[in-house]
């Protein structure tokens, strides 16, 4: 279970304690109400249970997902669909580079994938990396970390950007013993 999941579970447990109702009971209340819009359900939880906006929004999302169990599997499927779209057509040959980077990152532990329009944002408590095709011949890996000595491959980015560093990858062989420690440092600094 990643850090975000643990925090969510703790928040849901607190909601159960404060409301005196189980998550199953609260989900059944949503089902019985016939409401389907997130905002309407959230407002009911705020009004009837006295929950704050954040708690009510989280509980609403939980209940809606619980009422549609197939949605849980669709999240992973949608990330795969998005990544497949990134690496389609002329960029298809870049997919092995992406997969090798992701395989290395998965060895580090838990993290969250937030798909964007043209790249994946990889997060723990905060974003530690961005990964996506930059051109038809290159994948860019953005890294958030500080205090790294200069290296030809590690390009320092201007202040205020999404990442402090960028590495341009054109081959699977570039996911190597020099690159992986940089990724690990970015991963660990985002805890």
Which pLDDT tens digit goes with each residue over 152-161?
999 998 888 8
Q: 174 and 95: one domain? A: yes
Count of domains observed in the chain: 2
Q: Decide which of 47, 68, 89 is a domain's last residue.
A: 68
User: What DSSP element (H or E) covers 68?
Assistant: none
Q: 21 and 106: one domain? A: no
pLDDT digits 0-9 by tens, 85-120: 899 999 999 999 999 999 999 999 988 888 888 899
The percentage of residues in the chain with a pLDDT greater than 90, rounded to a whole number, is: 41
The percentage of residues in the chain with a pLDDT greater than 70, rounded to a whole number, is: 92
pTM exceeds 0.75, yes or no: no
Q: 59 and 128: one domain? A: no
Answer left, alpha or beta for residue 65, where phi above 0 means left and psi between -120 and 50 means alpha.
Answer: alpha
Domain span at residue 51 reads: 3-68
Return the DSSP state at 87: T
User: What DSSP element (H or E) covers 15?
Assistant: helix 3-19
């Amino acid at each position: 279970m990643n850090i975000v999941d643990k925090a969510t579970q703790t928040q849901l447990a607190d909601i159960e304690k404060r409301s005196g109702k189980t998550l199953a009971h609260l989900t059944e209340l949503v089902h019985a109400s016939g409401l389907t819009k997130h905002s309407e359900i959230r407002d009911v939880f705020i009004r009837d249970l006295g929950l704050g906006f954040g708690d009510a929004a989280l509980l609403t999302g939980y209940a809606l997902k619980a009422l549609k169990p197939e949605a849980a599997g669709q999240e992973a499927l949608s990330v795969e669909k998005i990544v497949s779209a990134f690496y389609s057509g002329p960029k298809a040959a870049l997919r092995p580079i992406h997969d090798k980077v992701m395989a290395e990152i998965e060895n580090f532990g838990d993290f969250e994938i937030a798909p964007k329009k043209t790249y994946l944002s990889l997060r723990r408590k905060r974003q530690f990396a961005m990964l996506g095709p930059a051109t038809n011949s290159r994948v860019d890996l953005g890294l958030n970390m500080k205090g790294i000595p200069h290296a030809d491959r590690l390009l320092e980015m201007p202040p205020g950007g999404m990442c402090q560093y960028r590495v341009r990858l054109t081959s699977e062989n570039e996911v190597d013993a020099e690159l992986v420690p940089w990724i690990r440092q970015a991963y660990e600094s985002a805890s």
